[in-house]
Structure 1
Amino acid sequence: MAKKTVEDLQLDGKTVLVRADFNVPMKDGKITNDNRIQAALPTLNYILEKGGKIVVFSHLGRIKTEEDKAKNTMKPVAERLSELLNKEVTFIPQTRGEALEHAVAQLQPGEVLMFENTRFEDLDGKKESKNDPELGKYWASLGDVFVNDAFGTAHREHASNVGIASHLDSAVGFLIQKEIKFIGGAVDHPERPFVAILGGAKVSDKIGVIENLLDKADKVLIGGGMAYTFFKAQGKEVGNSLLEADKVDLAKSIMEKAGGKLVLPVDTVVAQAFDNDAPSKVVSGDIPEGFEGLDIGPETLKLFEKELQGAKTVVWNGPMGVFEMPNFAKGTKELCEILVNLKDAIVIIGGGDSATAAQQLGYEDQISHISTGGGASLEYLEGKVLPGIAAISDK
């Protein structure tokens, strides 16, 4: 790849600033899923093995009030990281100041320090998320080199990624390297046939992705709530289903341009209420008045399975139905099963709800790659430049 990786940096004796994505789910001050911390371990362990001193930092949650600060401290993350690395992680409950500077200066090779939530800086004029130049320069002054391994924020221009990278020799970590290899490889140099599957609620969220993938993929399969806007564009009735009425003409033009590449559901699981326990039925064609589509039907699954046979590269972003409700998770679950049983295919799940679904359904270890960044992977699939990666030093 054109950007430096952590293996290209001289690390021995250096203070290495590492931007990680430790934006983990929390409940009552406890981490409920540590996948994102686990995902950073290869990069952190490599730096330690090479004699580096690590200063690791991340954001956590949204910070709009002082109360938000209390519930989004990085302290529990530092404690969990300490357990996973099997070594003490010094936690400094500040984002700047003498105590932080002194602690960083005292670090020895093989030691790890974490400082407080970078978004704490947003209470004072959104300095982190608006890439305040003074803040980026200050954080850069704490280290010798910078490693960005936070793919989840790579589509944002923040002080903690772009700001720091503009002042130091920088590289991507193994996690971002893997994201570039899989997602970038799939979009730019896919092994064919290349099939993309797009779900989720809204066409408007994925217009750019649909258009980019129609140019690149051999087939694009559509499911989830966005399908009903395409149904309407076909002249079908959609009942009470999710519909973006102002995007019907756009859906029509996408179908016209697709030239047969776009594959839509042929049947739908419908119910009269958005409720797991609502009685449901399968309909083909028009969705009756008073009913709403909540999942793809069995004939659609057969059609999608047929379209996926022989595929060598598959990218999937977005669930097929309301997978949070067990009675309407069948389409998403059975699609997962179809994907894990494809022979010799690279299967990439592009973060967000589809990644959550695959993990909850227990298919995580059977997928070639599950992205750690929902928004970042969507923008990457759309063909956009990600500022957090673009800012990294070239090889």
Structure 2
Amino acid sequence: MTAFRTLDDADLAGKRALVRVDLNVPMDNGAVSDTTRIDRILPTIREISDKGAKVILLAHFGRPKGRDDKNSLKQVVPALAHALGRPVTFVEDCIGEDVAKAVSAAKDGDVLLLENTRFHAGDEKNDPDFVKALATNGDLYVNDAFSAAHRAHASTEGLAHALPAYAGRTMQAELEALSAGLDNPARPVMAIVGGAKVSTKLDLLGNLVKKVDVLVIGGGMANTFLAARGLDVGKSLCEHDLTGTAREIEEKAKAAGCQIMLPVDAMAAREFKAHAEHRIVPVGEVAADEMILDAGPRSVEEVVARLGTVKTLVWNGPFGAFELPPFDKATVTVAKAAAKRVQDGALVAVAGGGDTVSAMNHAGVAEQLTYVSTAGGAFLEWMEGKPLPGVEALRKG
């Protein structure tokens, strides 16, 4: 991608590279329980190390209020070193004399992990003095943490103005995938937006109707749109106070030439639990004591058929309560159809957001789509059309 400085533009040999990564990984009994975020940063670390630079990793962990052992990055070191296949030296702080000594003692190619940047209030405040203290230990800065790019913090944005700054390989892959998704997509473009509430995705929907050709709305959000069309959704999750907003979004879509697709049938049940007794009904025939827990087979057929006519897919949020079988059918079926088209070379499919990653893993297609973003808030803000401070700072001047 030519718009951003990448490692291809960096002179690394003999340099001290401050590398911002995402190590905010889930833990279970003191051990990392999911290494996805660690695995994503390995190519960047290895490349910088192999090109002869000292790799000085910066990351946050949790939401500490000052120094706090249970939010120490020390506990991530064994999993990181194992995945990397080389030693990782841990330093008990991220600024100060001990860091300077550790960096000075390191050999070219060595990997160091500094302590949680958020142990210092200056990180989230993007405090100039804290930026300066971090920058003292580096000759250049590499940002490989797209998931934190929507925050203008010292370690995600401030450093990019204090040192020569570059996108790491994971950041680069994310930016290239996102550009292919919405910034400069092959048309027609379909967006699938699911999840529980319209209220959390108003900005997203408002941006998408201007940018995509087809907007598929699923999950609890769809119920609010169905109610706005005068249909009774029983005791389904529904924001009845936002039906007026739903109608406004439909009007904006119509004006922009964007087709909105809603479920035409549903899997309705009286209980919210796995394998609950259920029936398939047209969306207008949901009983007062029933709730919609997934889109029905006709709805899925329509979405899959329309998916066969588009060249780009952007996906955020599941169709139904995919954690509870059999209410995962719509999400899994559409995900597999999308994956097949990607594998056939007919579709660019970019998915992201917490529940979406889980849903794609559940469907077994995460590795088959063009790109699955593990960034929650940053991915959502990008879909909303908002500039991301950590990304903007990497643009070529």
For 2:66 and 2:297, the matched residues in 1 are separated by: 47
Partner of 2:233: 238
Return the alpha-carbon distance in structure 2 between the equivalents of residues 361 and 60 of structure 1: 29
Matches within 5 A, 1:211-290: 211-259=206-254, 261-286=259-284, 287-290=286-289
Q: Is residue 2:322 matched to residue 1:308? A: no
Q: Give 1:386's aligned residue.
A: 388
Quote the residue 2:205 is aligned against: 210
- Secondary structure of the corresponding residue to residue 4 of structure 1: coil
2: CA distance, partners of 1:30 / 1:174? 26
Q: Which residue of 2 aligns with 1:325?
A: 324
Shift of 1:185: 2.4
CA distance in 2, matches of 1:338, 1:314: 12
Among 358, 361, 380, the residue aligned to 1:359: 361
How far did 1:374 drift? 1.6
Any residues of structure 2 matched to 1:8-23 within 5 Å, and which?
A: 8-23=9-24
Given residue 280 of structure 2, which amino acid in structure 1 is its aligned partner? V
Looking at structure 1, the residues matched to 194 and 103 of structure 2 have their Cα atoms a distance apart, in angstroms, of: 45
Specify the alignment match of 2:119 in structure 1: 120
Deviates more, 1:159-168 or 1:285-294: 285-294
Q: CA deviation at 1:65?
A: 7.5
Query: Aligned-pair distance for 1:277?
Result: 4.2
Residues of 2 paired with 1:30 and 1:148: CA distance? 25
Q: What per-residue deviation string (whole Å, max 9, x for no partner) do you get for residues 219-277 of structure 1?
A: 11110111111011101112221122332111001112212611111112122222224
TM-score normalised to the size of structure 2? 0.94
> Separation in 2 of the partners of 1:199 and 1:289?
23
Contact 2:181 2:312 in 1 (8 A): yes
**Other-structure match for 1:26:** 27
- Structure 1 contact 202–226 (Cα < 8 Å) conserved: yes
C-alpha spacing 1:157/1:370, structure 2 compared with 1 (3 Å): same
User: What secondary structure does 2:204 align onto?
Assistant: helix
Would the aligned equivalents of 1:152 and 1:376 in 2 still touch at CA under 8 Å? yes
Q: Cα deviations across residues 177-201 of structure 1 (Å, max 9, x unaligned)?
A: 1111111222121112211111111
Q: What are the superposed Cα offsets for residues 118-149 of structure 1, whole Å, 9 maximum, x if unpaired?
A: 2222xxxx432222222122111111100000
User: Residue 91 of structure 1 aligns to a residue in which SS?
Assistant: strand
Aligned to 1:347: 349
Please state how far the C-alpha of 1:288 moved relative to its aligned partner.
Answer: 1.8
For the 8 Å contact 1:323–1:357, the answer to whether it is kept is yes
SS in structure 1 at match of 2:391: helix
**Letter paired with 1:155:** H
- Following the alignment from structure 1 to structure 2, what is the Cα–Cα distance between the partners of residues 119 and 200? 30
What is the distance in 2 between the residues matched to 1:328 and 1:61? Answer: 32
TM-score, scaled to structure 1: 0.94
- 1:197 maps to 192
- Shift in CA distance, 258/36, structure 1 to aligned 2, threshold 3 Å: same
* Partner AA of 1:23 in structure 2: N
Provide the secondary structure at the position in 2 that maps to 1:13. Answer: coil
Stretches of structure 1 lacking an aligned partner (at least 5 in a row):
none
Contact 2:180–2:348 (CA under 8 A) maintained in structure 1: no
Deviation of 1:337 after TM superposition, in Å, equals 1.1
Q: How far is 1:113 from its partner?
A: 0.3
1:89 aligns with 2:91: no
Q: Give the Cα separation in 2 of the matches to 1:267 and 1:154.
A: 39
Which amino acid letter does the alignment assign opposite residue 176 of structure 2? K
1:164 corresponds to which of 148, 155, 159: 159
Which residue of structure 2 aligns with residue 80 of structure 1?
A: 79
| Aligned pairs, number | 389
Structure-2 separation of matches of 1:163 and 1:316: 31
Compare 292-301 and 238-247 and name the one that shifted more. Answer: 238-247
Match in the other structure for 1:370: 372
Contact 1:223 1:321 in 2 (8 A): yes
Matched residues in 2 for 1:241 and 1:139: separation? 51
Q: Deviations over 1:351-370 (max 9, x none)?
A: 32111211233212211111
CA distance in 1 between counterparts of 2:60 and 2:237 reads: 33
Contact 1:156–1:388 (CA under 8 A) maintained in structure 2: yes
Residues 156 and 386, structure 1, Cα contact 8 Å, conserved in 2: yes
Instruction: Say which of 154, 165, 172 aligns to 1:177.
Output: 172
Q: Cα–Cα, structure 1 residues 280 and 127, in superposed 2: closer, same or farther, change >3 Å?
A: farther
Letter in 2 for 1:186: G
CA distance in 1 between counterparts of 2:235 and 2:122 reads: 43
Question: Post-superposition shift, 1:64?
Answer: 4.3
Find the aligned partners of 1:105 and 1:274 in 2 and give their Cα distance.
58
CA-atom RMSD, angstroms? 1.6
